[in-house]
Homo-oligomer: A and B are copies of this chain.
Amino acid sequence: MVSIDEVARFAGVSTATVSRALSGRGHVSDATRARVETAAKTLGYVVSSSASSLASGRTRNIGVLVPFLDRWFFSTVLSGTASALMRRGYDITLYNLTADREQRRSVFETFLRRQRVDGVIAISIELGDEETEQLRELDLPVIAIGGPNPRLSTLTVDDVAVARLATEHLISLGHSEIAHIGASPEFDIDFHIPTHRRQGFERTLADAGIPPRPALFEPADFTVEGGFRAAKQLLGRPGERPTAIFAASDEMAIGALLAARELGYRVPEDLSVIGIDGHELGEFFRLTTVDQFPLAQGERAADAILDELEARDAAIPREEPRRLPYELIVRATTARFDR
A-to-B contact residues, CB < 8 Å: 1, 46-51, 53-54, 59, 61, 64, 68-70, 72, 75-76, 78-79, 82-83, 86-87, 91-96, 98, 103, 107, 109-111, 113-116, 224-225, 228, 261, 280-281, 283-284, 295
A114 to chain B: which residues have CB within 8 Å? 46-49, 91
Contact at A96–B113, with CB atoms within 8 Å?
no
Given contacts A50-B115, A54-B48, contact A224 B284 (CB under 8 A): yes
Stoichiometry, as copies per complex, reads 2
Contact at A116–B61, with CB atoms within 8 Å?
yes
Of all chain B residues, which has the CB nearest A113?
Answer: B46
Given contacts A91-B116, A93-B93, contact A78 B69 (CB under 8 A): yes
In the A-B complex, the 9 residue pairs with the smallest Cβ-Cβ separation, listed nearest first, are A50-B53, A69-B79, A49-B114, A46-B113, A75-B75, A50-B54, A82-B96, A50-B50, A49-B116
A82 to chain B: which residues have CB within 8 Å? 69, 94, 96
Contact at A83–B70, with CB atoms within 8 Å?
no
Given contacts A48-B54, A91-B116, 8 further A-B contacts (CB under 8 A): A54-B54, A69-B75, A69-B78, A69-B79, A70-B72, A82-B94, A87-B103, A91-B114
A254 nearest CB across to chain B (Å): 10
Contact at B70–A98, with CB atoms within 8 Å?
no
A1 to chain B: which residues have CB within 8 Å? 115
Jot down 19 A-B pairs with beta carbons below 8 A, ordered by A: A46-B109, A49-B116, A50-B50, A51-B54, A61-B93, A68-B79, A69-B75, A70-B72, A70-B75, A70-B78, A70-B79, A70-B280, A70-B295, A72-B72, A79-B96, A86-B103, A93-B94, A224-B284, A228-B284
Of all chain B residues, which has the CB nearest A2?
Answer: B113
Given contacts A46-B110, A225-B284, contact A94 B96 (CB under 8 A): no
A224 to chain B: which residues have CB within 8 Å? 281, 284
Bound CA span A61–B103, Å: 17
A79 to chain B: which residues have CB within 8 Å? 68-70, 96
A313 nearest CB across to chain B (Å): 20
Contact at B91–A92, with CB atoms within 8 Å?
no
A59 to chain B: which residues have CB within 8 Å? 50
Contact at A86–B96, with CB atoms within 8 Å?
yes
Bound CA span A149–B48, Å: 29
A7 nearest CB across to chain B (Å): 14
Bound CA span A268–B284, Å: 23
Bound CA span A93–B63, Å: 9
A190 nearest CB across to chain B (Å): 21
A66 nearest CB across to chain B (Å): 9
